[in-house]
Structure 1
Amino acid sequence: MEKLYDVAIVGAGAAGIIATIAACQSHENVLLIEKLPKIGAKLKATGGGRCNLTNTLDEEQFMKSFGKQGRFMSDALKLFDATALREFFHDLGVQTHCPDGFRIFPVTHDSTTILTALQTKLKSLALDIQTNCSIESIIKEDELFIVKANEKSFKAKKVIVSTGGLGYPTLGAEGDGYEFAKSLGHSVTSLHPAMMPLLTKEQWGAQCRADTIANATIKVDIKKYKKLKACGDLIFTKNGIRGPVVLDFARDVTPILDKHGEVPILVNLTKGMNEDQIYKVFKNHSTLSTLETMQTILPLSIAQALCNECEVNAQEKFKNLEGIKREKLVKVLAWTPLTIIGHEGFKHAMITRGGVSLKEIEPKTMQSKIISGLYFCGEVMDLDGPCGGYNLQWSFSSGYLAGQLYD
């Protein structure tokens, strides 16, 4: 006789694993299905392998960081917030700490520590785990879900979809969860890669790859999107920009890029200095060359590149430059113009912007409003946050709530 599961969890990333652990607390027959040979592949790669689990923001600020849809996560955070997450891992023998006062990591700064603890926990529970099991379809017949995979078929009273997004396809991301959702009557928003380097039309940045610019500010130079802004460390690449500030900013830029083809941006590389403050710097260093003065606020490579872009004689004193060139240089130092022309797609995207419409999911339970017994958690839903432990906390919180299997 074919086994009937209380719940089948499809996808063994952060959200799926913790949903499974939560489901095992109150259900006997639990099935976890993963297409890859091992569970938690993307979790292992999180945070460059360091696994930034969460952060210290309070609930309101945390939700605000996700934008206008952030309040959707209120119930999930109330049930399983950063404190609960740290206590959960402490009970599994994993110590965490907050070295910079904001981001929370395992003290080992090694994602393997987290993954090993979760694997050990799963082994202690009475459940079935199917790896190397690629799902073909999920349908509902006579109040039961039929999950077809390869040459196998599973029956379950409830299903949790935790398949993640499209980022890092080498780690199993193929967007199959979106197709399952649509086949069951759900809407999926437009999907965009997020958290990745960006490509620029300008090439002078290739000369500046050795230097990291701390506290750089980026904003979109299109009136309609003038409120879009991010601040953090920036690094120039051979053909664009990367760094934490770019990863955050990419979430907002990729949808605009799809619409307009290219996106003009302005970058402050001088730690927030405005034109008046920059003029004052030149005045206070009047005995130095223009390049030497710029080096007091910028790395040499960037100072030289900007002089070249403004067609300024870097060895000349600032006061001896033509007035129009002085004005241009100061404007560029205050807000350096760049043009975003592309990115490398989902291949290098850490997360996906977009997903299963939140309007069709009950935030108090993570259950579908369309199909009873169907639940969603993690990145497959239309909710994403910036760098800094936001997305992993959301995966754990939503997974834990979905695993309660409230009706």
Structure 2
Amino acid sequence: MKKIVIIGGGAAGMFAAITAAEKGNEVHLYEKNEKLGKKIYITGKGRCNLTNACDMEKLMDSVCTNRKFLYSAFYGYTNQDVIDFFEKHGMKTKTERGDRVFPLSDKSADVIDTLRNAMKKAGVKVHLNTEVDTILLTGEEDKKATGIRLKDGTEVNADSILVATGGFSYKSTGSTGDGYRFAEEAGHKVTELSPSLVPFNTREEYGKRMQGLSLKNVTLSVYDGKKCLYEDFGEMMFTHFGITGPLVLTASTAVLKKLRQKELQIRIDLKPALSEEQLDVRLLREFENGHNKQFKNVIGVLYPTKMTPVMIELSGISPDKKVNEITKAERERLIQLTKHFPLTATGLRDYNEAIITRGGVSVKEINPSTMESKLVTGLYFAGEVLDLDAVTGGFNLQIAWSTGYAAGCAMAEA
């Protein structure tokens, strides 16, 4: 029986612990927080989008960084395997729009409870409120991980050690970058780190006036001058600082580097199902139906209540003007505004609001089949601490499950 130490009680750490323990090993999991899975608890607005039920091609395509590295892990433990695991352990799941998989209960706590119960059944020894200070290494040329030292000075020997400490995102959950320090102290390279899947700051005052307004079925485009850097269809929301929501978070992965250097232009198509010609016909019909009414009393049928005053203001059309007096040029301005609603992205929010961290332990120094370090025997890495990230939709948790499973198997069989 091998003694395995896992640092971090998040998705990757718990899954690795279950996998290794079920194969008959003594597994100790160390978590510095007072409870397990603090980040899982808040994901998906407390519902936990635990994976995505798409085909494997889309699963691979949804990875933004180091896609090829994940080929072995994803095929070794697929999204269907994840769904089967939770169902087998008594947690029913459901699949929603975009193939996003959630607990049937809509409670992320059920995901954590399922993992906790599976660990207990497998015999994993969980140490809460216990912070790891150092990974103990031997050898200069041929390094080997032999154990850990806790903050209180206690040393714990181990045959294998897994670092699954997460990144910097959502620091309130304890993600303080410990894993990056462990990696660097062991001789690993950590790539440039930045917040990802993160909301945008925008400049316009009228955006703040629409705080709390959600837009569904819109197309969001991000431009650098005339070059389109990102475009997709879906949902977004206005906030007191700018914009957020699935469309915006995914856009952040595509424009992150460019937005560090300069401001970018955002355009929202509020009526993507209509061409400009069709929208003009619709406007004319609404104007005809209320031909003696004022513009402000007709326009509300086309836009959400919070957005109507902004559209009136930006259109340049007097709110008191009778609609039968609106010129073709004014109508054209309103059409352009509807199809290309303008915002200016001035930057991204910080790690406290980022779902994940972009960057991490260089995967060039990690075995993609086992998650073991190529530099230090017996040292493994899994989950967000690695230089791996994906778009929203359950894909980042799938990275955690798959890499955690690969590491758990490899440590058990090493």
TM-score, scaled to structure 2: 0.89
* Alpha-carbon distance between aligned partners in 1 of 2:317 and 2:159, rounded to the nearest angstrom: 71
* Alpha-carbon distance between aligned partners in 1 of 2:49 and 2:9, rounded to the nearest angstrom: 18
The residue correspondences of 1:360-379 to structure 2 (distance < 5 A) are 360-379=365-384
2:361 is the alignment partner of 1:356:
yes
* SS class of match (1:235): strand
* Alpha-carbon distance between aligned partners in 2 of 1:100 and 1:197, rounded to the nearest angstrom: 21
Q: Which residue is 1:34 aligned to?
A: 31
Residues 292/252 of structure 1: CA separation in 2 closer, same or farther (3 Å cut): farther
CA contact (8 A) 2:221 2:228 kept: yes
The residue correspondences of 1:166-185 to structure 2 (distance < 5 A) are 166-185=168-187
Q: Which residue is 2:86 aligned to?
A: 89
2:220 is the alignment partner of 1:218:
yes
In structure 1, stretches of 5+ residues that fail to align are none
Q: Which residue is 2:191 aligned to?
A: 189
* SS class of match (1:369): coil
CA contact (8 A) 1:80 1:400 kept: yes
Return the letter of the residue paired with 1:35: K
CA contact (8 A) 1:294 1:303 kept: yes
CA contact (8 A) 1:281 1:293 kept: no
* Alpha-carbon distance between aligned partners in 2 of 1:241 and 1:15, rounded to the nearest angstrom: 30
* SS class of match (2:389): coil
Q: Which residue is 1:269 aligned to?
A: 270
TM-score, scaled to structure 1: 0.90
In structure 2, stretches of 5+ residues that fail to align are none
Taking only the aligned residue pairs, the percentage that are identical comes to 33
2:71 aligns with one of 74, 95, 118: 74
* Alpha-carbon distance between aligned partners in 2 of 1:20 and 1:134, rounded to the nearest angstrom: 17
* Alpha-carbon distance between aligned partners in 2 of 1:363 and 1:277, rounded to the nearest angstrom: 52
* SS class of match (2:176): coil
Superposed CA RMSD: 2.4
The structural deviation recorded for 1:21 is 0.8
Once the two structures are superposed, residues 61-108 of structure 1 have per-residue CA deviations (whole angstroms, 9 ceiling, x without a partner) of 111012363232222121211221122112222121224472211211
The structural deviation recorded for 1:401 is 0.9
CA contact (8 A) 2:65 2:387 kept: no
Q: Which residue is 2:160 aligned to?
A: 158
Once the two structures are superposed, residues 161-206 of structure 1 have per-residue CA deviations (whole angstroms, 9 ceiling, x without a partner) of 1111111111110011111112222222222212333221001123
The structural deviation recorded for 1:293 is 5.6
The structural deviation recorded for 1:54 is 1.2
Once the two structures are superposed, residues 365-390 of structure 1 have per-residue CA deviations (whole angstroms, 9 ceiling, x without a partner) of 22222223222111111222222211
- With 214-223 and 320-329 compared, the bigger mean Cα shift is at 320-329
Once the two structures are superposed, residues 283-305 of structure 1 have per-residue CA deviations (whole angstroms, 9 ceiling, x without a partner) of 33342455556434321332320
Q: Which residue is 1:120 aligned to?
A: 117
1:98 aligns with one of 89, 95, 109: 95
2:152 is the alignment partner of 1:147:
no
1:107 aligns with one of 104, 109, 113: 104
* Alpha-carbon distance between aligned partners in 1 of 2:96 and 2:304, rounded to the nearest angstrom: 27
1:64 aligns with one of 44, 61, 68: 61
CA contact (8 A) 2:229 2:255 kept: no
* Alpha-carbon distance between aligned partners in 1 of 2:273 and 2:66, rounded to the nearest angstrom: 30
* Alpha-carbon distance between aligned partners in 1 of 2:246 and 2:296, rounded to the nearest angstrom: 28
CA contact (8 A) 1:286 1:318 kept: yes
2:43 aligns with one of 42, 46, 59: 46
The structural deviation recorded for 1:57 is 0.4
CA contact (8 A) 1:139 1:184 kept: no
* SS class of match (1:295): helix
* Alpha-carbon distance between aligned partners in 1 of 2:82 and 2:164, rounded to the nearest angstrom: 18
* SS class of match (2:267): strand
The structural deviation recorded for 1:34 is 0.9
Once the two structures are superposed, residues 194-225 of structure 1 have per-residue CA deviations (whole angstroms, 9 ceiling, x without a partner) of 23332210011233235321122222211586
Runs of 4+ in structure 1 deviating by more than 6 angstroms, as ranges, are none
* Alpha-carbon distance between aligned partners in 1 of 2:50 and 2:90, rounded to the nearest angstrom: 15
